[in-house]
Amino acid sequence: MKEIGSKIKIIFLTTGLGTGGAEMMLYKLLRHINRRRFDVLVISLVNGGGVRKYIEGLGVRVIELGMKRGVPDPHFVVKLVNILKKEKPDILQTWMYHANLIGLIAGKLAKVPKIIWGIRHSNLDKQENKKTTLITVKVCSVLSKFVDKIVCCSKASFQVHNEVGYKREKMVVIPNGFSIEAFFADKLARNKIRNELKVSSDTPIVGLIGRWDPLKDHLNFIKASNFLVEKHSDVQFLLCGKDITKNNEELYRWIKESGLESHFHLLGMRKDIPNIMSALDVFALSSSGEAFPNVVGEAMACEVPCVVTDVGDAAYIVGNTGKVVPKKNPLALANALSDILSLPMEERLMLGKKARERVKSNFEINKVVGQYENLYLSIV
């Protein structure tokens, strides 16, 4: 039992520090956690990643182990064990599958008192995951009895992993959280982005924000756009995220084949996502697999109605403030987008305000961080 008043030391071990949803949630947790109560340190298995500088900007130390992706090497387990022995954390919390597996082995060897796993995934489809990922999941399901807690970011990920053998009694659900101070409807930002795109204030824009990844199913979105243009001939489509540019040959070929090049704006990686959100009239999630899609909550916080595929916890996030459609069904996606674009302006704005209120009530970042803090306090 930790002495009352003494700091609890937590090491967060992550596979990498890219700009994905898991890494951004780790950053938000570190930003809002009570640093008078918790002493924190981050270790990344691989080097680099855009989130590292943000974490270090919080005054949090980051250690990189230099592993190569997809190349397991016992040398790095030994390296991690030595760091854990030196740092003597009360809790080792791991994020994502490979960190979960390596962290458990190193944590046990280093005699770390408590180990918490993090699960950020809810799609274990053989066609949509790497073989190494599925093997790691299988191994972790067997080893799950040796960890103290398993944090799932969604009800869907809880269910999926329980079904493949993860110990149910160890599992808890803590959703991702959203900063309603950072994400809000901004009229100036809306005008700025639309001026950049040379799109008038009354032209409808449908947006999709997400990196180039098979699970994001950009092809589903492009096929839906074909149907949508038949009903809304002036609609524009804004896409941004890693590798979402004209240099992406496959993506751009799909758009050219659709005949809708003049309707699409490919912005690549952007740092002004709240501004981008404010420029949209509807946000679309076209994914075939997600756990807890952060981007939906961020759009909702910006008062943008959302149409989402029924993946992970997307439907739970949206609630009654948007529309949910089956995955890989572009006609259903197009029809739902059309339904929202066809609403009178007042009704659409009201839907957006309801969306923000839902985020504020259920997923506000300080409430979510409080759940993590209570978990840490309950196990030390």
Domain annotation covers residue 71: yes
One domain for residues 142 and 17: yes
Write the CB contacts of 186 (distance below 8 Å, at least 6 apart in sequence).
274, 275, 278, 302
One domain for residues 145 and 51: yes
Angle, alpha carbons 186-191-196 (nearest 5°): 125
Pairing of strands 306-309, 282-285: parallel
Residue 13 CA to residue 276 CA, distance in Å, equals: 31
Number of domains the chain contains: 2
Domain annotation covers residue 2: no
Write the CB contacts of 133 (distance below 8 Å, at least 6 apart in sequence).
97
Angle, alpha carbons 369-19-14 (nearest 5°): 65
One domain for residues 212 and 337: yes
DSSP string spanning 200-245?
A: -TTS-EEEEE--S-GGG-HHHHHHHHHHHHHH-TT-EEEEESTT-S
pLDDT above 90 (res 5): no
Q: Whole-prediction pTM value?
A: 0.81
153: which DSSP letter? S
Domain annotation covers residue 207: yes
One domain for residues 93 and 215: no
> pLDDT tens digit string along 195-254?
999 999 999 999 999 999 999 999 999 999 999 999 999 999 999 999 999 999 999 999
One domain for residues 160 and 203: no
Domain annotation covers residue 346: yes
Residues listed for the chain: 380
Given a contact cutoff of 8 angstroms between Cβ atoms, the answer to whether 177 and 373 are in contact is no
One domain for residues 309 and 195: yes
- Confidence at 365, pLDDT banded by 50, 70, 90: very high
Distance between the two ends of the chain, CA-based, in angstroms? 6
Task: Identify the pLDDT of residue 188.
Answer: 97
- Confidence at 13, pLDDT banded by 50, 70, 90: very high
Amino acid residing at 123: N
The b-or-e profile of 48-77 (16+ CB within 10 A means b, else e) is ebebbebbeeeebebebbebeeeeeeeebb
State mean pLDDT over 54-82: 90
Task: Identify the pLDDT of residue 123.
Answer: 78
Given a contact cutoff of 8 angstroms between Cβ atoms, the answer to whether 305 and 352 are in contact is yes
> pLDDT tens digit string along 315-358?
999 999 999 999 999 999 999 999 999 999 999 999 999 999 99
Q: Give helix 131-143 / helix 97-109 axis angle, nearest 10°.
A: 40
Domain annotation covers residue 159: yes
Which range marks the domain in which residue 223 is found?
187-362
Domain annotation covers residue 1: no
CATH of the domain at 90: 3.40.50.2000
One domain for residues 159 and 192: no
Give whole-number Cα distances, 145 to 117, 148, 165, 166, in Å. 11, 8, 10, 8
Task: Identify the pLDDT of residue 70.
Answer: 64
Give whole-number Cα distances, 283 to 28, 176, 214, in Å. 23, 19, 19
One domain for residues 172 and 242: no
One domain for residues 136 and 221: no
One domain for residues 224 and 332: yes
> pLDDT tens digit string along 152-198?
998 889 999 999 999 999 999 999 999 899 999 999 999 999 999 99
Residue 207 CA to residue 258 CA, distance in Å, equals: 17
CA nearest to 363, candidates 311, 310, 301: 301
One domain for residues 166 and 209: no
pLDDT above 80 (res 1): no
Domain annotation covers residue 3: no
> pLDDT tens digit string along 104-150?
999 999 999 999 999 988 878 887 778 888 999 999 999 999 999 99
One domain for residues 237 and 158: no
State mean pLDDT over 256-285: 97
Domain annotation covers residue 172: yes
Amino acid residing at 280: L
Given a contact cutoff of 8 angstroms between Cβ atoms, the answer to whether 32 and 365 are in contact is yes
Task: Identify the pLDDT of residue 69.
Answer: 73
Task: Identify the pLDDT of residue 3.
Answer: 63
Angle, alpha carbons 380-38-43 (nearest 5°): 95
Query: Who has greater pLDDT, 212 or 19?
Result: 212
The b-or-e profile of 307-333 (16+ CB within 10 A means b, else e) is bbbebbbbbebbeebbbbbebebbebb
Residue 221 CA to residue 228 CA, distance in Å, equals: 10
